[in-house]
Structure 1
Amino acid sequence: MTSNPPLPVRSLQPSRAAQPRFPWHHFEMRFSSTPRGARLARRLAGERLDAWGVPYGSATHDAVTLVVAELSANAVRHGHVPGRDFRLRLSAEGTALRVEVTDTRGERLPVRPAAEPPDAGGDVDGDGDGGRGLLLVAALTDRWGWFPCTDGPGKTVWAVVEVPSV
């Protein structure tokens, strides 16, 4: 019998806990500022997320595609300038998925929704139609905001979803 117990065998592979959930991924595309363009943005975002390892039907996939749908619809409805497209950017790095939607209408800025949803039949912006998109974005993401474009007219609305590493 030896007085020194054997040392545990260590793998040469790094532990999974030390690895980030995502390597760096990036997707960017322009879409027509139409309802069809917003639908296409949502569908392509869903395909991209699946390719990055966020499978269809998972809670994260559903949340991020809904955020893309809401921000794209807002860009079409509130940020539309005739003849100008909107831009979708998706990125994944570490444990974060980031969505950015840029439109060319800088004077119509997003307003943080109130903590309470609007009354039935009412809405946040007072035009009688919708008003819950940014409330959904705020509920589904860890943080969101906007910034003015530096390379031309417009604004970018962004949202981040943190995905726990596995």
Structure 2
Amino acid sequence: MLTGTTTSAAAQFTSSPRGARLARRFAVRRMEAWGHPPASDVSCAIALVVGELAANAVLHGRVPGHDFGLRLALDPAAGLVRVEVADAAATRLPPASAPSSCPEGESGRGLLLVEALAVRWGSAPRRPLGKTMWAEVSTEGPAHL
């Protein structure tokens, strides 16, 4: 949970693979502006988390005519960056925990990756419609690596 003085940035992206790529690039640029170069562990972790949550918003949360939103919040006092990806699909809720995935499967590892990189993650309903997936990543480096 973010506790101190935060700096934040937010943007809307089209619910498309291109929008997910642009969200990831936006996050890397924002992390660089906040003092975390693109090749740093923190920036790479944020890029992966944003990429996975944005891809899920596009794949599972897409509602025609609605974009998805990305919000990043840096809390230096807590040593955390909070990533929030909001989509318009309230009926497609994520699992309460990362699903186990067959090693030979072609998909299903996104939330496992988020779980590995984040201190904590979850979802919340979004008003008036949709949901927000969120993850908090330590600025000291990935949580479980």
TM bin, normalised by shorter chain, reads 0.7 to 0.9
Counterpart-to-counterpart distance in 1, 2:138 and 2:19: 27
- How many residues align? The count is 135
AA matched with 1:74 = N
Provide the residue aligned with 1:146 in structure 2.
123
SS at match of 2:6: strand
- Structure 2 segments unaligned to the other structure (5+ residues): 141-145
AA matched with 1:145 = G
| Structure of larger gyration radius | 1
Match of 1:48 among 30, 33, 56: 30
Match of 1:137 among 88, 104, 114: 114
Is 1:161 matched with 2:141?
no
- Structure 1 segments unaligned to the other structure (5+ residues): 1-21, 123-128
1:152 positional shift:
1.1
Provide the residue aligned with 1:87 in structure 2.
69
1:66 positional shift:
0.5
AA matched with 2:12 = R
Match of 2:57 among 60, 75, 80: 75
Counterpart-to-counterpart distance in 2, 1:59 and 1:120: 25
What TM-score results when the alignment is normalised by the length of structure 1? 0.77
1:23 positional shift:
6.1
Q: Deviations over 1:3-55 (max 9, x none)?
A: xxxxxxxxxxxxxxxxxxx9631101110000000000000110010000011
Match of 1:104 among 88, 97, 102: 88
Any conservation in 1 of the 2:42–2:138 contact (CA below 8 Å)?
Answer: no
- Aligned-pair Cα RMSD in Å: 1.7
1:67 positional shift:
0.2
Counterpart-to-counterpart distance in 2, 1:90 and 1:120: 31
Counterpart-to-counterpart distance in 1, 2:125 and 2:15: 19
Provide the residue aligned with 1:120 in structure 2.
103
What TM-score results when the alignment is normalised by the length of structure 2? 0.87
SS at match of 1:60: helix
- Taking only the aligned residue pairs, the percentage that are identical comes to 49
AA matched with 1:69 = G
